[in-house]
Chains A and B, each alone.
Chain A
Amino acid sequence: MKVSLFIPCTVDIMMPEIGIAAHTLLSNLGTQTIYHKEQTCCGQPLFNAGYRDQAKQVAKHFIEVFGEDECIVSPAGSCVCMVKYHYPELLEDEPAWHKRACGLADRVYELSQYIVDVLKTTDVGAKYEGKITYHESCHILRGLNISDQPKKLIAGVEGVQFVELENSTTCCGFGGEFAIGYPEISEALVRDKAANFIKSGADVLLLCEPGCLLNISGYLHRNHPQKTARHLASFLAENLKKV
């Protein structure tokens, strides 16, 4: 099976290891990964800021790049939401593009969703002795209705102990431009998230959204440098059992 990797800009630039991990996991599960080097960003920052004409240009570029790919998989929920829900909305007035956007929407998956729901796997062959907890990112949970899939993948890790995170479904305060435009409110939210993580007693906080990871790990590095947050894909790939 061929899978086209949709690597969001935050991953491409700031956290390439998440993209590499996605490639590793998918390859290990017997899929053939493709990567279109012309891909850039889905345009979400422009769209969220209100620059719709400019976002539309980016959407068209994305649609051209990913063309007729059967399965497009991304390790980022909000970017998947952008393509799945906002592209059709953006291109509403251009019938030909709108049709292509709608067609594309059905072929885009979030990584954990793809592994569990399509590849029907919950054990990727990882082993980890320790306590793990999981933050339910807004766009993963409420945007894409994905919650069981990442938890099943965590449960599939040999030796892992899952502990609950209090208020796991509450926003971490990232929100893209929000974190920069409203820093005090954003800080109050990420402070709570970090406090709940520490309270949970877990060694590692896992999540599936690069944006939240930038926010939470940036906060942890400044305020609680001994604590770590990881993208689920990186965590799984790093802890694969040696063959």
Chain B
Amino acid sequence: MHSHINKFMETARKELKNEQSQMFLMMVALGAPILRQIGMSSFPDITAAESYSRAIRADAIARLPELLEEFEKNAESKGAKVLWAKDAAEANKIILDIANCGGVSYVMKGKSMITEEIGLNDHLIKNGVEVFETDLGEVITQNLNLHPFHLVGPAINVPPGEISEVFLKKGIIKKASTDPVELGSGARRYLRDKFRNLQMGIVGVNMAVAETGTIINVENEGNIRLIKSSPKTLVAIMSLEKVVPTIKDAIYMTRMLTRNCTGQKITSYMTMDTGPKKPEEQDGPEELFIIILDNGRSEIYRDFKTREILKCIRCGACLNTCPVYTKIGGYPYGATYCGPVGQVLTPMLAGIESTADLYRACTLCGMCKQICPAGIDHPSLLLSYRARQIDIKNQKGKKTMQSRRENAMAGLISLGMSHGWLWNFGLKITRPLMNSLAKDGYIASIPMGAQGWFGCRDLRAIPAKTFHETWNDLPSLPESSGNTSKKEDS
């Protein structure tokens, strides 16, 4: 994971000015919710469907350790080899070892966030194993060396001209073209050739079923089906929260996933694999490795507050509805996961101290929480990270001049807010200072602090009297209204 989270605002500013990005983000913001709505409307009761899927995820996470053991037992009984990886390095090593054992010179990959998270491609390439992405979007991001712009459509923002250019350079197409169909079929021809002699494929996992040991993938391009069926060796890597109790749960979650993701009732391809190829079967891998990756998730699980992050099914609905994401796109988030899901997950994976922009660049509007089919309360998590950050800053030995100053300020504000007289006294001092900056009843800028406000906005001058100061002068009810009520001081 090549993080550049520290450049959040710098990247966001660039993206806000990038017409191409803005055009695609507008399309995402307009189109995705409509598609989702159409997809969801095939449920007889949308609210009930959402409650059901949220309950499935809550149950699965509550029973996670037990379900993982059940999954391992059942997958192994069907002939799969289940391997546990505690972090990225371990997972990368396991996969490289499998490749080396089979003596493969290249692998092909299905779209997967988790391999992006562990930086698998770099590791394999560095160690002499070539990697071919097979999801069209990932073929593009891989060749352009880009982070995913969107969880589901990693390259939705890249214009055909740019794709054509890089495809030409890499020999994927022979003739320049901006026709999406041309580009798509060019990539297909190129990849089909690689599939022919494929020895080892790598896929992520959308759902792992505890009761049967089945791994499920949903996709629209058919590339994952080819990866799962053509090579001798198949490696499926999943983060440990992907497990669900039953096939019935998995199917329900799949219905929810595709509707929330692209608005589809079902994706074009859905593959369910239970163990490797059996002697009587024609297709499928001879050996199936399932790697269950922790990479910080046990820590996330241990804390009851953060545990709910693991409910996420990576549908991307929260991105499409987030006012911030739909303005700045995926790049500023600086990591594998962007938008609200990235904002709740990345600080836990990369640490609170280096990811402040992720949990502070949020208006707490609640759109993500409202739309989430897994039942995650993102705003509440982000607020808890802000509190953690303040706690860390105030730990002994970590205090800086700035954190001391901020803390003293917060203490002073708190003191004022806890005493009515002090509050009003503070205001009496502030008002003339603020109002000395006003012109025609509005303040257009102030010399220090809160500069951000005045970039595009004015602030009304502070009225001569607060409500507090007005209260005694407020009229009681007119007699004529026939009312007997009177206001009361206290």
Contacts and interface: CB of A to CB of B under 8 A. Distances in A.
B359 to A, nearest CB: 9
Contact of A222 (B370, B388, B458): B458
A191 B467 contact: no
A45 to B, nearest CB: 8
Contacts of B453: 179-180, 183, 218
A183 B455 contact: yes
Contacts of A186: 363, 452, 456
- A interface SS class: helix
Nearest to B12: A185
Given A23-B474, A138-B366, A218-B459, A40 B323 contact: no
User: Looking at B365, B411, B485, which has the most chain A CB atoms within 10 Å of its CB?
Assistant: B365
Contacts of A179: 452-453, 457
B417 interface: yes
Interface in A192-243: 214-215, 217-219, 221-223, 243
Contacts of B323: 170-171, 173, 189
A142 B243 CA distance: 31
Contacts of B410: 46, 49, 51, 54
A7 interface: yes
User: Looking at B366, B458, B463, B487, which has the most chain A CB atoms within 10 Å of its CB?
Assistant: B487
A120 interface: no
Given A14-B463, A34-B488, A142-B370, A20 B414 contact: no
B456 A37 contact: no
Given A184-B16, A191-B456, A19 B364 contact: no
Interface in B349-368: 360-367
A183 B452 contact: yes
A174 B363 contact: yes
B462 A14 contact: yes
Interface residues of A, number: 77
B411 A40 contact: no
B29 to A, nearest CB: 8
A95 interface: no
Contacts of B456: 183, 186-187, 190-191, 219, 222-223
A50 B458 contact: no
A138 B12 contact: no
A219 B462 CA distance: 17
Contacts of A43: 414, 417
A219 B480 CA distance: 41
30 contacts: A2-B488, A9-B417, A23-B487, A27-B476, A28-B477, A28-B481, A28-B483, A32-B485, A32-B488, A35-B490, A39-B420, A41-B423, A43-B414, A46-B410, A46-B417, A54-B413, A57-B415, A58-B417, A170-B323, A170-B367, A171-B323, A171-B365, A180-B452, A181-B360, A181-B361, A185-B361, A187-B456, A214-B460, A218-B453, A221-B457
Interface of A: 2, 7, 9, 11-17, 19-20, 23, 27-28, 30-41, 43, 45-52, 54-55, 57-58, 60-61, 65, 138-139, 142-143, 170-171, 173-191, 214-215, 217-219, 221-223, 243
Given A175-B363, A178-B364, A180-B450, 4 more contacts: A34-B490, A39-B420, A186-B452, A222-B458
